[in-house]
A = this chain, B = another copy of it.
């Protein structure tokens, strides 16, 4: 069966049936989907990768990404005007959203509200893989400056968690 849709080029190439088989392995993978560096703009841990399952285009207003952190890996601490709709696909770990520390497990749903600091951490003994659905039209995340970090780290609970 030939797939004629290349999700890496957006849904405009969708002139036929689309099926992107999951390929089990050490890392969650999908046929023909590139594993990308987590971010081109932050010097965060290289122990997290990004795969774009659906690009936003004129037919789909949102982008569907899969992030996978290795055991002990984590995403960047950031905030932005747009929200994240997150569904955990693999493993367990912790999420910081605002000032709350949440234990997250496979299939849990997490919401990061607008302009709210957030960060996702795989447990030391588990991968943490999650879908993150986001508006295609959005502005760049804001990373904390020293004053932000200082303020956050004043909370001893946050200080233990934030990387």
Contact = CB atoms under 8 A, between A and B. Distances in A.
Interface in A1-47: 1, 5, 7, 11, 14-22, 24, 28, 30
Interface string A112-126: 111000000000000
A157 interface: no
A152 interface: no
A136 interface: yes
5 contacts: A14-B113, A19-B110, A24-B107, A53-B109, A131-B131
Given A21-B105, A60-B133, 8 more contacts: A11-B111, A17-B98, A17-B100, A19-B110, A20-B109, A22-B109, A62-B62, A133-B133
